[in-house]
Amino acid sequence: MTSNFLNLYTHDFARVAIAAPICRIADPAYNAAQTIALAEQAAAQGAALVAFPELGLSAYTCDDLFHQRALLDGCLDALDSIVAASQQWKLALVVGVPLRVEHQLYNCAVVIANGQIQGVVPKSYLPNYGEFYDARQFSSGDYAVATEIDLLGERVQFGSGLLFEVADMPLFKFHVEICEDVWVPIPPSSFAALAGATVLVNLSASNALVGKAGYRNQLVSQQSARCISAYLYTSAGTGESTTDLAWDGQGVICENGELLAESKRFSDEATLTFADIDLERLSRERMRMNTFAQSVQRHAAEVNKFRTVFFELEIGRDEPLALKRCVERFPYVPADARRRDERCNEVYNIQVQALAQRLTSSGIKKIVIGISGGLDSTHALLVCARVMDKLNLPRTNILAYTMPGFATSERTLKQAHALMKLVGCSAQEIDIRPSCIQMLKDLNHPYSEGQAQYDITFENVQAGERTNHLFRLANHHHAIVCGTGDLSELALGWCTYGVGDHMSHYNVNASVPKTLISHLVRWVAESGVIGRNDAQVLLDILATEISPELVPGAADGQPEQRTESTIGPYELQDFNLYYVLRFGFRPSKVAFLALTAWQDKEKGRWPDGDHVTRNQYGLGAIKKNLGIFLDRFFRTSQFKRSCVPNAPKVGSGGSLSPRGDWRAPSDAQSVVWLEELRSIPVQEAGN
Which residue type does 303 have? V
601, with CB counted inside 10 A (0-12, 13-18, 19+), is exposed
> DSSP letters of 270-313?
-EEEEEEEEHHHHHHHHHH-HHHHHHHHHTHHHHTT-EEEEE--
Contacts of residue 407, defined as CB under 8 A and 6 or more positions apart, other chains included, come to 549, 550, 551, 552, 553, 561
E-state strands within 301-381? 307-311, 367-370
- Rounded to whole angstroms, how far apart are CA atoms 656 and 490? 7
> 667-675: long-range contacts at Cβ-Cβ below 8 A with a sequence spacing of 24 or more?
667/638, 667/639, 668/634, 668/635, 668/638, 669/634, 669/635, 670/630, 670/631, 670/633, 670/634, 670/635, 673/586, 673/587, 673/630, 673/634, 674/587, 674/627, 674/630, 674/631
CA nearest 229: which of 181, 192, 177?
192
Measured CA to CA in angstroms, residue 427 lies from 8, 246, 372, 412, 500 at distances of 54, 68, 12, 15, 21
In terms of Cα–Cα distance, which of 56, 58, 60 is closest to 93? 56
CB 57 within 8 A of CB 96: yes
- 532 Ramachandran zone, left/alpha/beta (phi>0; psi -120 to 50): alpha
Torsion of CA 367, 372, 376, 377, to 10 degrees: 10
Give the whole-angstrom CA distance, residue 373 versus residue 395.
18
- With contact defined as beta carbons under 8 Å apart, do 263 and 251 qualify? yes
Cβ atoms of 209 and 171 within 8 Å: the answer is no
Report the distance separating Cα 163 and Cα 176, nearest Å: 8
CA distance 138 to 181: 14
H runs (alpha helix) in 499-586: 514-527, 536-542, 563-567, 570-583
Show binding-site residues for ATP.
370-377, 484
Catalytic entry in 23, 62, 179, 425: 179
> Is 415:541 a contact under the CB 8 Å cutoff?
yes
Residue 663, classed as helix, strand or coil, is: coil
Q: Where are the alpha helices (DSSP H) in 363-448?
A: 375-390, 410-423, 433-442
Binding-site residue numbers for L-glutamine are: 129, 206, 212
Judging by DSSP bridges, how do beta strands 258-262 and 104-113 pair with one another?
Answer: unpaired
Name the residue among 256, 205, 251 with its Cα closest to residue 230. 256
123 a catalytic residue:
yes
**What does the alpha-carbon distance between residue 101 and residue 51 come to, in Å, rounded to a whole number?**
23
C-alpha dist (Å) from residue 562 to 539, 552, 565:
20, 11, 6
* Binding-site annotation: residue ranges: 129, 206, 212, 370-377, 460, 484, 489, 494-497, 640
Annotated binding-site positions for deamido-NAD(+): 460, 489, 494-497, 640
Q: Is 241 exposed, middle or buried (0-12, 13-18, 19+ CB in 10 A)?
A: middle
Q: 23, 54, 108, 514: which is the annotated catalytic residue?
A: 54
Separation between Cα atoms, residue 28 and residue 23, nearest integer Å: 9
Instruction: Clarify whether 564 is annotated catalytic.
Output: no
Active-site residue among 75, 108, 123, 384?
123
- Known catalytic membership, residue 414: no
Active-site residues, by number, are 54, 123, 179
